[in-house]
Amino acid sequence: MKRFTKNIIIYVIIFAVVLVAATAYRGMNDSQAVQVREVPLSQFVQYLQNEAISEINVTDTRLTGKLSETETVYAYANSVVELSIISEQYIFPQIEAGTLTYETDEPNNTGSVILSILPSLFAAGAIIFLIYFMMSQNGNGKAFQFAKSRAKMVKGNEKKVTFADVAGLDEEKQELEEVVDFLKYPRKYQDLGARIPKGILLVGPPGTGKTYVSKATAGEAGVPFFTISGSDFVEMFVGVGASRVRDLFEQAKKNAPCIIFIDEIDAVGRKRGAGIGGGHDEREQTLNQLLVEMDGFGENSGIIILAATNRPDILDPALLRPGRFDRQIVIGVPDIKGREEIFKIHSRNKPLADDVTPAILARRTPGFTPADIENLLNEASLITARRNGRFIRMEEIEEAITKVIAGPEKKSRVISAKEKKLTAYHEAGHAVVARCIPDSDPVHQVTIIPRGRAGGFTMTLPKEDKNYETRNGMKNAIVHLLGGRVAESLTLDDISTGASNDIQRATDIARDMVTKYGFSERIGTVNYSNSEEVFLGNDFTTHKNYSDEVAREIDDEVKKIISDAYAEAERLLKENMDILTRVAEALLLVETIDGEQFEALFTGKVSAEGLAEQVRESTEVKKARDAEEAAESERLRREEEERLKAELEKYDTDYMDEDESPADEDETTADGDGAAAGDDSGSDENSAADDGKVKKDESDD
């Protein structure tokens, strides 16, 4: 880029010099050809009347007349008609009389010509600049470097990630250890006639650690690691992607054994065929070249390709066949044991309080991915730093969990008393219904404080990880979702738009029960859902795979499920109306209720006013504890600053003494020589002078 900037500056300077030279040359020519003075047209006509002009030159509307050998004048006619009148009355008669010599020059059309070709010149310059810029932005200004691979190579001796840094993926790591072992000891496999997989595709949701485990594989093997994104192959110029693929594999062959990691391979490996672009699509050409290159190197050449995607359904079948990507490793969401190990890794450099352990955190975060866990602990650290705390307590962990799921609190939002009451009864309805449903997930938190796009929410956490959903579980989920709407209808004699998201989610669950999972006895165990998504490679048209009669039955069955769930929620709330009122009043007083507080309200162990008093007392205790911890943190910070300052001053003093000690030794030696000569008075004077010098240096310091 520096070279590109330098070249641009040089070109601008050259252009400016040429422009200045051309202007000066034109001015010089004009001054040499026309050394005249301009006069008004009336005065020029007066010269013609007096026959004072001996030679005249008429060019366009310009009249140039020679008065004498040293004086020439010129004037401009206002129009061609005026010029014609002057010519007929004065110029032509004098020419016929022989007193006036007439000349004319060709019109100067240089300016018009330049103006006519200027747009073309500008367009050509812009195109040349664009091409030069595209060639120069990649590859340090060398031509056609933009067609080279953008893969970053990480050598084996650099800082590396190992399998010890990867948690919760025991089986997945075992699959990848074969690759590592082959790269370290290829002879063992060659002697057995075994063929190591050419390519391994890592499949899983976003944030599950696909990229991280690939880096760990390269770190364990200790070989060069080429990493590139699928989108880096595709460029606006045709053929660039294929060229980058070729260059990538050429570099890999030179550094074999090595690992090539292609992240988000679905950007370049989508299905070919129908859709826009046809066979001349740039992405398809890149994919074809990738397929050819994967077939081009040997089975045991020492090049292993790892790729990651969260969309394996849209990949081209030719890419997934054996011989290219022989093995697919699914990296899913970790279970409770995996989450505990992940928490241990991400909390190694974080000071957790005594009440916080990885086992507790694993139970409180079902469904969290490794990326979610890392973000959760980081948010908890930031919240702790906000209060100047020293240790991350469970309070910060809970707030971080809620913040990751629902967003930050918006306490500053102005909410009317009517809307606040509506939200309180809505969320209380959700909580009470969830508590009354058998085998339901326990209520973890209820709040009416807005977070994100929600005016409030009720959070339930499962007791254990779930791999499957049951019919009764999905029905109970619909009843839980409709609890808020039913509570509004029973207590406020009105309903609001706050339940729109609940209704949408309930409808989606009911439709999936009927069309996807076969939970409807009327419809039967037939899949009527259309899960195909529109993307390049598939047709853009969608169609129903069932008749209109079946569609009507599906709609009727979905409506029946929703109606039954609504009636069930209404029954539960009518039977527990006093509990609903007590929970809503508590929410209006304290705004946020945790699981233990809600259980106390539900069982009647505490009233709304009593809960508010408990929250007030605990809040005061928390504030005092936070203030004490903040003061301790401030004290430790000041002590650390003073210690560093003392060490710095000590270092400066030691450095000064080391610099002055040789000089002192020399002067002492000189004094000693003087004393040996018997000049005691000179020695005392020198000593005094030395003392004065040291004091001055210390003062300056």
How far does Cα 5 stand from its chain's mean position? 28
Name the residue with tokens 């460029």.
235
End-to-end CA distance of the chain: 46
Token digits for 594?
């945790």
The SS3 of residue 306 is: strand
Q: How far apart are CA 7 and CA 186, in angstroms?
A: 50
DSSP for 107-175 reads ---HHHHHHHHHHHHHHHHHHHHHHHHHHHTTTTT-TTGGGS--PEEE-TTSS---GGG--S-HHHHHH
Cβ neighbours around 604 below 10 Å, total? 10
Give, for 282, the enclosing helix (H) or strand (E).
Answer: helix 282-296
In the chain, how long is the greatest CA-to-CA distance? 132
* Length of the chain as a residue count: 701
* C-alpha closest to that of 329 among 304, 314, 308, 355: 308
Residue 90 amino acid letter: Y
Q: How far is CA 334 from CA 244, 401, 470, in A?
A: 36, 17, 21
Close Cβ partners of 693 (under 8 Å, ≥ 6 residues apart): none
DSSP for 477-524 reads HHHHHHHHHHHHHHHSSS--GGGHHHHHHHHHHHHHHHHTS---TTT-
Close Cβ partners of 617 (under 8 Å, ≥ 6 residues apart): none
Which ranges constitute the DSSP H helices of 206-260? 210-221, 240-254
Residue 679 amino acid letter: D
Quick check: 442 and 460 in contact, CB under 8 A?
yes
Backbone angle region of 568, left / alpha / beta, with phi > 0 → left and psi within -120 to 50 → alpha: alpha
Which ranges constitute the DSSP H helices of 206-239? 210-221
- Is it true that the peptide bond before 257 is cis, omega within 30 degrees of 0? yes
* C-alpha closest to that of 630 among 384, 377, 356: 384
How far does Cα 34 stand from its chain's mean position? 66
From the candidates 172, 395, 427, 570, which is the catalytic residue? 427
Token digits for 466?
């779930």
158 flagged as catalytic = no
63 forms beta bridges with 58, 75
DSSP 8-state assignment for residue 53: -
The SS3 of residue 267 is: helix
State the sign of the Cα–Cα–Cα–Cα dihedral 76, 80, 85, 87: positive
DSSP 8-state assignment for residue 233: T
Return phi, psi of residue 53, to 5°: -100, 130
DSSP 8-state assignment for residue 90: I
Catalytic residues: 427
